[in-house]
Amino acid sequence: MNFIVPTDFSTNAKNAAQYAAALAQATNSGIRLLYIVSPPLIGSDKRNFSYKKKVTDAIKEAEIKLEELCREIKIKYTNIKCDYIVRVAETVDGIIAAAVGNKADFIIMGTRGAGLIKKTFWGSNTATVIENSSLPVLAIPERAPFLPPNKIVFATNFHDSDLKDIKQLSAIASAFCADIIVVHVVENNERIESEFSMIEYFSGLVGKATAYPKISYRVFRNENTEKGIELFIDSVGADLLALSTRDRNPFEKLFNKSITKELSFHSKIPLLAFRVQETNGDSDF
């Protein structure tokens, strides 16, 4: 696997890079650091000498810092490949384009805090990348150290696309012999009996999609899906939360918050968000 790791050289972003390096070493993967140079001014004349100098100077400064960060990573994690690239673009678009262009399997980046989180610029960028990237995004909370995952929770609404995601998640879980706990949160107005039947049927589909043996299934009741997921991961001592996020139409974006986006701000543990190219009737995430 190959990971692309955007950085702004903050403590938070450097921690995410260290996390990515540890994960890469454990999974025999490589990492590519990415720095985005934002255009100095919207509407600036790119032929202007001052514009070109600002961009050139920013690229040179970034390359020096990236070289140093790569060197630090290679000293600590001797068995991984680490290199870097610099792109001139708007931050979110540049991250996504670089990840796709470099054929990354995952984007790994930091997001600030846990619990009652402050939605900072970099944390907001991470949430926006999650909402718009076609690639899986692993969001690392501020100061979260790398811990080999023992329990991974995958939150599901029983959609076909979740089968592909659980199969891909199994590749990470198998590297650590980790348990995958597939959970469906039942809100209070739903009949729990029918949800038990659904998860039993869904488990059969998962069994056909992947032979990974350490997968179990749970139904968890809570009046709010987001809160239910948070309570469940706390109750089982999860090390990683995974779920699928989907395209939302403009009406939904106006009136409904994205559960995945909110969890990217509030999760105390790393959040792995898979992308669904949705068909009618797909995920609420």
Judged against a pLDDT cut of 50, whether residue 253 lies above it is answered with: no
Distance, in Å, from the CA atom of 30 to the CA atom of 175, rounded to the nearest integer, reads 15
Higher pLDDT, 162 or 143: 162
Tell me the backbone φ, ψ of residue 186, rounded to 5 degrees: -100, 120
User: pLDDT tens, 265-280?
Assistant: 456 899 999 987 555 5
DSSP 98-122: HHHHTT-SEEEEEE--SSS----HH
Is residue 115 packed enough to be buried (19+ CB in 10 Å), middle (13-18) or exposed (0-12)?
exposed
Which of helix, strand or coil describes residue 161? helix
Q: Which CATH superfamily is domain 151-276 in?
A: HUPs (3.40.50.620)
Q: Which CATH architecture has domain 2-141?
A: 3-Layer(aba) Sandwich (3.40)
User: What residue segments make up the domains of the chain, in order of their start?
Assistant: 2-141, 151-276
Distance, in Å, from the CA atom of 257 to the CA atom of 254, rounded to the nearest integer, reads 8
User: pLDDT tens, 45-84?
Assistant: 556 667 788 889 999 999 999 999 999 999 999 999 999 9
Residue 30 token pair: 């490589």
Residue 213 has a pLDDT of 97
**Does 2-141 match 151-276 in CATH topology?**
yes
Higher pLDDT, 36 or 223: 36
